[in-house]
Structure 1
């Protein structure tokens, strides 16, 4: 799928405006003219400028590049199913990660995706287990960002 530059430019500006609006909710520091909202606001302004540049480029190219062009891959039913499974996995993680936990859900999602994309059962399970444990360890030990334990909370290490 291919987009004219104006399309992502509009989304970039909308995202930047939402980011700036959220940054204004950060608490102010007493006695200072700037606070924790300064850098997110500056980044948002930069994103708005980049989005405007993309929109102007897209307007200049509108005769040569259509707004949306669907690629050949999107006309194959298997590829559409693959995209649906991938997006469904993301939604499933968002909805169930608090209850089920990162480890079981990651094992389920990775194994399903690896099987769907052509790996054998053994390879899929081994790669899913190793990847899940590496990601969990990196987040929990190195980055100090706890991932949800869910049903494994009684055996959390």
Structure 2
């Protein structure tokens, strides 16, 4: 089995449009849907079809194929890209929520290093834990950069008139 945090193959990087928001989606392994869909939604899954993940924050669709769509209410877990609450995971494998990441940055801890160590030890399971079916390190890194950017803006005392 390929590691979830390794670069994806060409077949997994094919892009198609979400039928609701018409934005590009990303191919997601069928095991991700089997792991994260609620039972009622899972009974509607067509396992031989290729499914895509819609990351558009304003779109309620999470997964789609040529035959059906699954929405946020069909999920066992909240979807980071679509739910901005502080207790929603950014890293699903190790429960790094927005709130926990904020605290780590305030305390000058390095969650990225921790996650990398776990990935290196082959402990991540993004394909079954993360709704996007891929490694969360990009999300974690982006989120931390945003925290640091906001912190620097506040610390510099910038005022906008």
TM interval, short-chain normalised: under 0.3
User: Between Structure 1 and Structure 2, whose CA radius of gyration is higher?
Assistant: 1
Q: Say which structure is richer in strand.
A: 2
TM-score by length of 2: 0.23
